[in-house]
Amino acid sequence: MSKTKGFFIVLEGPDKCGKSTQAALLTRALINAKCKAIHTREPGGASVAFAEKIRELVLDPDNIVHPLSELFLYEAARVQHVEELIRPAIEQGAIVVCERYTLATLVYQGHARGLDPALVKRLNAIATNGLKPHLTLLLDIPETQFKLRDPGRNLDRLEQETSKFRKRVRDGYRLAAKSEPHIELIDGTGPKFSVHRQIISQVAKLTRIDVTPVPLEPNLIKSS
């Protein structure tokens, strides 16, 4: 087993808030700092085959999915993700950078879909067997940003939801950030590099690793 301590860092926020962009930058910065860093995401998970199959099912816009069935699918995928990838990686001293986790389920299936938050929390606890992030970074953007960002992108089933639904998602995240001290709220509307620097600073504070921001690649600079 590695001598370094593992960490679990989660990036959260509404669709198109910049999770994938920032998770990729953070992972690269950690690797540059000689850390073993793994970039993964929910639903699904890097090389977690069964969870990825559930991802395809749950995000396919052609499927009609009952909210409770949707909740179970997210949790089923999470069990696989936690047990096959996240927990072993942390135990081996890796830093796991994950897009979305239990907070997303509380916000989307609880706050936005209207399922009982107590039920969602209970299932979150069961699916993760109590594994919590060391740090959750919430990238906050107003609902109006959704249509402006990446307008050509093919939207998945959740991204095809109404603007009212997206507003409930944003409000749910902001509400959670107020009550949960482990959630760090970051203004996701700033330039990409500025968001990246804020994330690096939070991660350096947590891990005590000297992490340096990485420069944006040309294709990232264009839209920032």
Ligand X SMILES: Nc1ncnc2c1ncn2[C@@H]1O[C@H](COP(=O)(O)OP(=O)(O)O)[C@@H](O)[C@H]1O
Contact 52, 45 (CB under 8 A): yes
* CB 186 to ligand X: min, Å: 10
Closer residue to Mg ion in complex, CB, 107/115: 107
Q: Does 166 bind ligand X (CB under 6 A)?
A: no
Closer residue to Mg ion in complex, CB, 12/75: 12
Question: Which listed range, 17-25, 28-36, 86-94, 166-174, lies at the site for ligand X (CB under 6 A)?
Answer: 17-25
* CB 139 to ligand X: min, Å: 7
149: partner contacted, choices ligand X, Mg ion, none (Cβ within 5-8 A by kind): ligand X
Q: Does 150 bind Mg ion (CB under 5 A)?
A: no
* CB 190 to ligand X: min, Å: 6
Q: Does 185 bind ligand X (CB under 6 A)?
A: no
Q: How many residues bind ligand X (CB under 6 A)?
A: 16
Number of residues in the chain: 224
Q: Does 201 bind Mg ion (CB under 5 A)?
A: no
**Which one-letter amino acid corresponds to residue 113?**
R
Q: Does 195 bind ligand X (CB under 6 A)?
A: yes
Nearest-angstrom CA–CA distance, 21 and 153 = 14
Residue among 20, 47, 129, 201 that touches Mg ion (CB under 5 A): 20
Nearest-angstrom CA–CA distance, 8 and 160 = 30
Closer residue to ligand X in complex, CB, 87/192: 192
Nearest-angstrom CA–CA distance, 27 and 14 = 20
Nearest-angstrom CA–CA distance, 108 and 14 = 9
Nearest-angstrom CA–CA distance, 178 and 28 = 30
> Cβ-count burial of 35 within 10 angstroms (0-12 exposed, 13-18 middle, 19+ buried)?
buried
Nearest-angstrom CA–CA distance, 220 and 113 = 33
Nearest-angstrom CA–CA distance, 14 and 148 = 14
Tokens 């947590």 locate to 206
3-class DSSP state of 216: coil
Q: Does 223 bind ligand X (CB under 6 A)?
A: yes
Q: Does 150 bind ligand X (CB under 6 A)?
A: yes
205: partner contacted, choices ligand X, Mg ion, none (Cβ within 5-8 A by kind): none
Tokens of 67: 């909210």
Q: Does 18 bind ligand X (CB under 6 A)?
A: yes
Give the footprint of Mg ion on this chain (CB under 5 A).
19-20
Interface positions with ligand X (CB under 6 A): 15-21, 149-150, 188, 190-192, 195, 223-224
